Amino acid sequence: MPETAIRLDNLTRHFRTVRAVNNLSLDVPAGTILGFLGPNGAGKTTTIHLLLGLLEPTRGSARVLGFDSRTQGGEIRERTGALLEHTGLYEHLTAEENLEFYGRIWRLSPTERRKRAEELLTNMGLWDRRADRVGSWSRGMKQKLALARAILHNPPLVFLDEPTAGLDVLAAQAVRDELAALAGSGITIFLTTHNMTEAERLCGQVAVIRNGTLIALGHPDELRGSSAARVEVVGSGFDQQLLGILRARPDVTAAEMLNDRLSIETSADADVAPLVDLMVNAGVRVEEIRRGKASLEEVFLTLMEEGEDSE
Amino acid sequence: MNGDIQTVAWKEWKSLFRQRENKLKALLTLLMPIAVFAVYVPWDAGTHWTSGGTSIYAAIAIPMLIVLLTVADSFAGERERHTLATLLASRLPDRAILLGKAAFSIGLAMAMTLVILAIALLTVNFTHWEGELLIYTPKIVLVDLGLSFLIALLVTGAGVLISLRSASVQEAQQTLAAAVLLPPTILGPILLLVSRAKPELRPRALLGHLGETGGLMIFFGLLLLLAIALFALAMARFQRAKLILR
């Protein structure tokens, strides 16, 4: 497998006047999980369709596992697995029959099909329900089965389109555990998700898109580190005058008072000690100081707000 | 490719009687034509069923009915049940998906026609026994099987095209039923009126010089051309990029 599993070069797709994907350029190294984040309608699903060769790009190109998505879609689909927006399971068939069908599609031998189905269904805790019609299953179980189907033929690259969307906390956690186990096996995963905790926990690289345009790319820690830091001060003696002084400082981007707490957002490299000195000198009784980086969710929201402002 | 076509047909076969909401429908689909075309009509027709050409009604109606019920479910159903995108994301070639589904519908229609013709033969022998076994003439067998195959192919081609444009199975079935039944419903009375008013325009009068076999060959040829044209159009339309956008 090439070192770069996916390479996008100014990938663009228009639907009449709508630019669903716009000049998207990025590399996904083999063996990593890329979290592809963006609000609804940002172009995540269209990007997956383009990468699988299901849609042709209007401009630019995508190479997946070394194959051109425009001309070698068949080669790409031969070597990848996909869990798309819907599970795509045949609900009137049993779990075994669903896997049997896709096992035949991937040309696994009857022995391989049986062995792999047993292995996957057992690992995902579905073996005892293998003879049930999938339609009678819970959504979490269906999602796990769809994941099993996507990796049935041991593909080196898997596309997962919001695999935990609409699941309850426990079911989502179970699917995340499966994804974490997959990540350890060296497979490359292209994961679209709305869940920032999921992206933070699973992804080695995160790409954020908005209106089809890439607006941030990096390791979750890098993205968090490049954005504002937060300082929370617990104590008494906060007043509007102090807030005004803090807000006027160049290293403070925001300051807010909530009962006995003062929440300050600073630039990523700001030193907290001068701020504490300033507060103590202004008569504040400081009881506790907590310092932390913004969460990926906060980074995401900030990026979305910046995008809105720039439009 | 052959293996892929068989895989798709295998899934269609598995799905046929497994849809709970369709069990009653599937049973009626099986029993109704048997009751009408394997029992009632041959009983009524007697020896005319095996040698006079009455069995042609079964050869037309059975494949039409079976394909009408299966092809829309097979194509429009994949979209309605949200399984199409995943299927298209697999390694299966477009052509294998189309041919696998079509082969299933046509195969089932042919099998059902054969079963009904066989049961009808038993009915005729049972109800009109005259001391010797009644069997189909070779010409009747050829005409019945050839016609049922062409009808199945024709309705499958139309069914694929209609299903690709339909949002649901029900819509596809209704449109296909209208497309299949309306032309004979409208053309039949018109042809009848024309041939009564001008007997020289009757098909028999026009094609009489060709004989029965020649006339049949022309009819089969036209049907085959129409079926091939529709099927070729369906193959041209059945492409991933077009399907994923709908």
In Å, how far is B74's CA from the nearest CA of chain A? Answer: 12
B10/A93 touch (CB, cutoff 8 Å), yes or no: no
For residues B235 and B162, the answer to whether their CB atoms sit within 8 Å is no
Task: Please tell me the least confidently modeled range out of A79-83, A139-143, A161-165, A194-198.
Answer: A194-198
Q: Which residues of A touch B93 (CB under 8 A)?
A: 74
Q: Which residues of A touch B87 (CB under 8 A)?
A: 88
In Å, how far is B170's CA from the nearest CA of chain A? Answer: 18
Residues in A lying within 8 Å of B, measured between beta carbons: 49, 52-56, 73-74, 77-78, 82-93, 97, 101-102, 104-107, 133, 135, 146, 149, 159
Residues in B lying within 8 Å of A, measured between beta carbons: 3-4, 7, 10-11, 14-15, 18-20, 81-83, 85-93, 240-241, 244-245
Tokens for A67, please give them.
């194959």
Chain A to chain B Cβ contacts (< 8 Å): 78
Tell me the pLDDT tens digit for each residue of A75-131. Answer: 999 999 999 989 999 999 999 999 999 999 999 999 999 999 999 999 888 999 999
What single-letter amino acid sits at B92?
A: L
- B85 closest CB neighbour out of A78, A84, A89: A84
**Residue B112, pLDDT above cutoff 70:** yes
A88/B82 touch (CB, cutoff 8 Å), yes or no: yes
Q: What is the 3-state secondary structure (H, E, C) of A17-73?
A: CEEEEEEEEEEEECCCEEEEECCCCCCHHHHHHHHCCCCCCCEEEEEECCEECCCCH
Chosen for mutation from B4, B12, B16, B88 (greatest number of chain A CBs closer than 10 Å) is: B88
Comparing C-alpha atoms, which of A255, A278, A281, A258 is closest to residue A267?
A255
Strands A205-210 and A33-37: parallel
**Residue A311, pLDDT above cutoff 60:** no
B14/A107 touch (CB, cutoff 8 Å), yes or no: no
For residues A143 and A167, the answer to whether their CB atoms sit within 8 Å is yes
**Residue B21, pLDDT above cutoff 70:** no
Comparing C-alpha atoms, which of B91, B95, B101, B143 is closest to residue B16?
B101
B91/A78 touch (CB, cutoff 8 Å), yes or no: yes
What does the buried/exposed string (b/e) look like for A198-210 if buried means 16 or more CB atoms within 10 Å of the residue's CB?
bbbbbbebbbbbb
Q: Of A39-43, A118-122, A181-185, where does the model show the most confidence?
A: A118-122
Query: pTM of the full predicted structure?
Result: 0.82
Average pLDDT, stretch B165-177? Answer: 90
A104/B10 touch (CB, cutoff 8 Å), yes or no: yes
Q: Running DSSP on this structure, what letter comes out for residue A133?
A: B
- A55 closest CB neighbour out of B11, B82, B241: B241
Average pLDDT, stretch A63-80? Answer: 95
**What local confidence, expressed as pLDDT, does residue A274 receive?**
86
**Residue B205, pLDDT above cutoff 80:** no
Higher pLDDT, A61 or A286: A61
Chosen for mutation from B2, B14, B84, B86 (greatest number of chain A CBs closer than 10 Å) is: B86
What is the chain A residue with the closest CA to B89?
Answer: A77
Average pLDDT, stretch B198-219? Answer: 71
**Residue B19, pLDDT above cutoff 90:** no
**What local confidence, expressed as pLDDT, does residue B129 receive?**
85
Average pLDDT, stretch B164-172? Answer: 89
Average pLDDT, stretch A130-156? Answer: 92
- A77 closest CB neighbour out of B7, B91, B241: B91
The DSSP secondary structure of B193-226, one letter per residue, reads HHHHH-GGGSHHHHHGGGHHHHHHHHHHHHHHHH
What is the chain A residue with the closest CA to B82?
Answer: A88
Q: What is the dihedral of CA A81, A86, A88, A91, to 10 degrees?
A: 140
In Å, how far is A114's CA from the nearest CA of chain B? Answer: 16
**What local confidence, expressed as pLDDT, does residue A134 receive?**
93
Tell me the pLDDT tens digit for each residue of A236-295. Answer: 888 888 888 888 888 888 888 877 788 888 876 778 888 888 888 888 888 888 877 667
**What local confidence, expressed as pLDDT, does residue A308 receive?**
64
Query: Is the alpha carbon torsion for B204, B205, B211, B213 positive or negative?
Result: negative
Average pLDDT, stretch A209-230? Answer: 80
Across chain B, mean pLDDT equals 87
For residues B243 and B86, the answer to whether their CB atoms sit within 8 Å is no
**What local confidence, expressed as pLDDT, does residue A1 receive?**
59
Average pLDDT, stretch A143-147? Answer: 91
For residues B83 and B130, the answer to whether their CB atoms sit within 8 Å is no
Tell me the pLDDT tens digit for each residue of B77-107. Answer: 898 999 999 999 999 999 999 999 999 999 9
3-state secondary structure of A163: coil
B11/A73 touch (CB, cutoff 8 Å), yes or no: no
Q: Which residues of B touch A110 (CB under 8 A)?
A: none
A54/B90 touch (CB, cutoff 8 Å), yes or no: no
What share of chain A in percent tops pLDDT 90?
45
Comparing C-alpha atoms, which of A108, A84, A97 is closest to residue B16?
A97
B90/A105 touch (CB, cutoff 8 Å), yes or no: yes
Higher pLDDT, A208 or A221: A208
ipTM rounded to 2 decimals: 0.84
Q: Which residues of B touch A156 (CB under 8 A)?
A: none
**What local confidence, expressed as pLDDT, does residue B207 receive?**
61
- A74 closest CB neighbour out of B20, B86, B91: B91
pLDDT band at B119 (very low <50, low <70, confident <90, very high): very high
Higher pLDDT, A297 or B61: B61
Q: Which residues of B touch A54 (CB under 8 A)?
A: 85, 88-89, 240-241, 244
**Residue A137, pLDDT above cutoff 60:** yes
**What local confidence, expressed as pLDDT, does residue A196 receive?**
83
Residue carrying structure tokens 């425009």: A70
B81/A91 touch (CB, cutoff 8 Å), yes or no: yes
Task: Please tell me the least confidently modeled range out of A85-94, B52-61, B200-209.
Answer: B200-209
Q: Which residues of A touch B245 (CB under 8 A)?
A: 55
A54/B89 touch (CB, cutoff 8 Å), yes or no: yes
Chosen for mutation from A65, A90, A106, A139 (greatest number of chain B CBs closer than 10 Å) is: A90
